[in-house]
Amino acid sequence: MRTFLQWVESKWSSFRPGRQREFPFQHDGYNRKATSYLDTDIIDPEYEEDTDFNLYHVTSNLAAVKVSGRLKSRRELGITGALGGGGDNEAPGMVSTTYDYNRAREIYSQMKLVAEMCRGQFKASQVWDMFDDAWDNQFARSELKSNLPNNIYKKLYKGEIPPETIDQYIKTPKEIYEFFQNLEDAQWKYDSESDSIYHMTAVGFTAPFEDMIKIDPNQVAIIQVVARKEPGRIQHVNLEKEVRFKPEDLRIVRYYQP
């Protein structure tokens, strides 16, 4: 059985030249590489061997980015909570970037998947298959608040019933999304407590269904940016391979839709 991360990776496609779009921008005074802003003492060179250290942001509204030509913080947009991660509305005046191309694709793929899920394109059994057996059944029933009766949950975990059985209990897109959130929370907890994991593989979708259903899957995109050489305050979240910048310190180079 594949892990959720392996399932997401199977959906990736390479960035093709025809799917890349350049923004007109002169790079003088800006750095492409995140290494200029990171504390090298907490970077593991061996683990980061394949990291490109370019800066990427995943947007859920490419059309708005193309019109404005810039990225905006949640505070500017009037959003009180992040779509993924940031459940405590951390750094609302900053823009999150990741310095790992593969992490950017993880976020892109998962955000597009969830947008499609909220539009009714997935069943609960398909969501279960994304996570089943990923961590040797190390998350508890108490972590999976859902419409599943206890006896059905136990039989599902023991393999006594097929996953399709749960489609009778978790039916609507909202219920399916919330089921996904609970499974992802369990993965998040496992990742954060594991000694063998270096960074999160989950995005952590904390936004309610009513916000997520507004996202058009076709508007999800990866934005590559450069950062001002002497930016204002920044934040480095090592576990998530994330650097947060003030929006005025970022400029867009190109966008991708894999």
Q: DSSP assignment, residue 146? A: S
**Partners of 59 in the β-ladder:** 221
Give the number of domains in the chain. Answer: 1
Q: Write out the residue range of the structural domain in which residue 214 sits.
A: 4-256
| Residue 178 to residue 144: CA distance in whole angstroms | 10
Residue-wise pLDDT for 48-98, tens only, equals 778 889 999 999 999 999 888 889 888 887 765 556 544 555 677 899 999
Instruction: Please give the structure tokens belonging to residue 55.
Output: 């800066």
**What's residue 83's pLDDT?**
64
Of how many residues is the chain composed? 258
**What's residue 253's pLDDT?**
86
Residue-wise pLDDT for 202-247, tens only, equals 777 888 899 899 999 999 999 999 999 988 889 888 777 889 999 9
> How confident is the prediction for the chain on average, in pLDDT?
78
Residue-wise pLDDT for 129-155, tens only, equals 887 654 444 555 455 556 678 788 778
- Residue 181's Cβ-count burial label (10 Å; 0-12, 13-18, 19+) is buried
Q: Which residues contact 130 (CB under 8 A, 6 or more apart)?
A: 4, 7, 183
| Residue 35 to residue 61: CA distance in whole angstroms | 28
Identity at 158, one-letter amino acid code? K
| Residue 100 to residue 170: CA distance in whole angstroms | 35
The DSSP secondary structure of 79-97, one letter per residue, reads -SS-SBS-TT---TTSEEE
CA-nearest of 200, 236, 211, 251 to 65 is 251
Sign of the CA dihedral with 247 first, then 248, 251, and 255 last: positive
